[in-house]
Amino acid sequence: MNPPTHDYFSANRDRILAAWCDLLRIESVSADASALAHCARAAAWLRRWLKSAGFQVEVVLPPDGRPIVWAERPGVPSAPTVLFYGHYDVQPADPIAAWTHPPFDPVCVDGRIYARGAEDNKGQLFAFLQGVAARIDAGLPLPTLRVLIEGEEECGSSSLLACAHDPAWRQRLAADTLLVCDTSMHPCGQPAIVAGLRGMQTLTITLRGPSHDLHSGSHGGLAPNPAQGMARLLASLHDPQGRIAVAGFFDGWAAPTTNECRLAEAVPFDAAAYTSETGAPPEGGERAIPPIHRTAFHPTLEVNGVHAGYGGPGCKTIIPSEAVAKLSARLCPGQTPSRTMDALTAHLRAHCPPGLTLELSDVRSGSRGFRLPVDSPLIRLATDVLTRIDPRGPLFLWEGASIPIIATLQEVSGAAPLLVGFGREEDRIHAPNESFGLDQFQQVMTYADTMLGALV
């Protein structure tokens, strides 16, 4: 028997897909300062949609930030208040040439919508809202629902963080339950409850040497080389076993409990499947630690990009004047972002090669990681709901990714978080040819309908 949302989707398919594609066409890239107008268009689009669904809506314009959409729809007074969080901003589409179809011109191929943001997070966000619309259309009760949609999740949520710490926002965000649909299922297809996320911080390193590029024949062996210096500096961040070698970086780190380890290890890790899916074996990080623990419970420090000198065809025999690298760290519960950043910057300064000048920029101390109690009433309710959707029930995952604002929203709203999403690895979020299946879209709708119904 099909769930009610299946019938609602079938009856309104063309209208739903047209609206979803309209949202996907908006180039709301938060990392691009020139895309601020596009972010404003996305916020206005969501405002119109929420208002048409019976929500009271406000668009908040932070100074120098992307608009924040806040909406509320009163529901059953005796039911817990629900805060739903999502984001309309997307990653840059680069490299454009790697896309089979233009990234902001959505197309449906073999039951999947291809576009930047198709899954992360415009797909899951809009599918959840369509699940709400299905309940409204059927005349079914809802809890009081508050919706918070930001435009800076992909670049650190700085505007929402500033707003959230304003005392006036505590009442606006106050809730009993915080629902987030920005995560994934297990690769086997079972639904998953994400019981923890790591925090994140980023920075940019610039090493400067000569005042201009030098002839490598005339100056090789004399002038310090920023490209070579950068290679040495980055290599100092890890020991030969892959462990982070930054003094003080692990301070406060909270090891997982025995029960958390048991639940995490109950989900088998298939190294061959990982290699097939990603094109690389799981040989990164601290190799003495099991792969599932590396991504779930341990911090990481990664080089996101390195740029120096000449990269065109043939050769250009120079000593480059500067080298640039971008780093990101993923933090675990117990680690304090300000302290880990202090430890990292102290390490970089201490290991700067002689003759080169170190400059640190775009320093974002970021957010802390968190883990949720797996035996809480909300988790038990979610387990029951997901078992109704899939008789196999949910698996528990501790994801290595980050949603920077969640820990702050948990603190400010007083709500118990629940992270359930329906992404798949094949969605290729943050990469060219991002997509989201229509079957996944309907799974999100069914989850939203069933979970909100269980909370009434």
DSSP codes of every residue in 346-363: HHHHHTPPTT-EEEEEEE
Tokens of 15: 């209208």
Between strands 416-420 and 177-180, the pairing is parallel
Domain ranges of the chain: 4-182+403-455, 199-253+299-364
- pLDDT for 2 equals 67
- pLDDT for 1 equals 54
Residues of the chain where predicted confidence (pLDDT) is lower than 70: 1-2
Tokens of 197: 């996320």
Distance CA 86, CA 42 (A): 13
CATH architecture of 4-182+403-455: 3-Layer(aba) Sandwich (3.40)
Tell me which residue has tokens 């320093």.
363
Tokens of 283: 């040989």
Backbone torsions φ then ψ of 293, nearest 5 degrees: -75, -35
Q: Which among 212, 170, 53, 183 has a CA at the least distance from the CA of 411?
A: 170
Residue 236's identity, in one-letter code, is: S
How many CB atoms are located within 10 Å of the residue 17 CB?
Answer: 16
Tokens of 23: 């949202």
Backbone torsions φ then ψ of 455, nearest 5 degrees: -85, -15
Task: Give per-residue pLDDT as tens, 103-142.
Answer: 999 999 999 999 999 999 999 999 999 999 999 999 999 9
Q: What Å distances lie between residue 120 and 88, 115, 116, 123, 430, CA to CA?
A: 8, 10, 8, 6, 8
pTM (2 d.p.): 0.82
Domain 199-253+299-364 has what CATH class? alpha beta
Distance CA 70, CA 55 (A): 10
- pLDDT for 421 equals 96
